[in-house]
Structure 1
Amino acid sequence: MEILSYEIEINAEPEKVWSVLWGDITYKQWTSAFAKGSFYQGTLEEGSIVKFFDPNNNGMYSRVEVNIPNQEMKFLHLGEIYAGIEVPQDWGNPTETFILEENEEGTLLKGEIQTREEFKAFFEEKFPKALEIIKHLSENQL
């Protein structure tokens, strides 16, 4: 498992960045960096299962490990979904974490992914693009 870390300075308060991250419409906008038409189903309460889908209803399911509003969201990825069927995976403990730190400029958004080597190039290309979209949305939407 490899840990990949990304961060971006956003000129907006943490509450605004949080709403962009997890709001239904804005989530679809920033995750288009990974796959156009992405969406999630489920609640973001700690311990709940969330399903992340592409437009073909394939994707993955994860457990919310941490949800501290306006500060941190952490997912443990459990398996993949193919044609609506959940397929558990033995990935180890792949996590995806978003940390928001308030500062004088606004918010430092940090993203950390524990992933297998085979997915590193994908995240190295896509994650910075997603952060740029989050920044744009946070700084320019009412």
Structure 2
Amino acid sequence: MEKLKFKKEINASAEKVWEVLLGVSTYPLWTAVFAAGSTVETDWKKGSKAYFSDGKGHGMVSRIEENIPNQFISIKHLGEFKDGKEDLNKDWGEAFENYTLETVEGKTLLTIDLQISKDWVDYMEKTWPAALEKVAELAE
């Protein structure tokens, strides 16, 4: 597993950035950078499952490990799903995404910490900066 970190200062409140990150209407807009038609099905509550879909019936099964509104959310990736069927048999280890929002001089510093398979490092290094730009555009 590899650890990656991405940061973006956004000229908006933490509440607004949080709304963009998790909002039903905004989530698909900023995650389109990863996969056009991306959706998520979850209530974002600690302990809840989350289904991150590519819009074609495939995606990741995850669990919300922590949720402190407007400050921090941790998502542990458990496996995949295809055509509505979960496959949790692959060893994903400690694959996670953490989103930390800090208020700094009236702006929000958004930090993304990832622990992912080496296979995904190049892709994430290319796409996360673009995704953060889109989050900023939507929040500002």
Q: What TM-score range do you get, normalising by the shorter chain?
A: over 0.9
User: Contact (CA 8 Å) 1:31, 1:38: kept in 2 or not?
Assistant: yes
Number of residues paired by the alignment? 139
Q: Show structure 1 runs of 5+ residues with no match.
A: none
d(CA) in 2 for partners of 1:45 and 1:85? 22
Q: Report runs of 4+ in structure 1 exceeding 3 Å deviation.
A: none
d(CA) in 1 for partners of 2:30 and 2:42? 18
> Which position in structure 2 is the counterpart of 1:92?
93
Shift of the alpha carbon at 1:95?
Answer: 0.5
State the one-letter code of the partner of 2:15. E
> Which position in structure 2 is the counterpart of 1:134?
135
Aligned-residue CA RMSD in angstroms?
0.7
Using the size of structure 1 for normalisation, the TM-score is 0.96
> Which position in structure 2 is the counterpart of 1:120?
121
d(CA) in 2 for partners of 1:16 and 1:8? 14
Q: Deviations over 1:77-120 (max 9, x none)?
A: 00101111100121111000100000104100001110011100
> Which position in structure 1 is the counterpart of 2:109?
108
Higher helix proportion, which one?
1
> Which position in structure 1 is the counterpart of 2:34?
34
User: Contact (CA 8 Å) 1:10, 1:105: kept in 2 or not?
Assistant: no
User: Contact (CA 8 Å) 1:9, 1:105: kept in 2 or not?
Assistant: no
d(CA) in 2 for partners of 1:129 and 1:97? 17
Using the size of structure 2 for normalisation, the TM-score is 0.97
> Which position in structure 1 is the counterpart of 2:44?
44
Equivalent pairs: percent with the same residue? 43
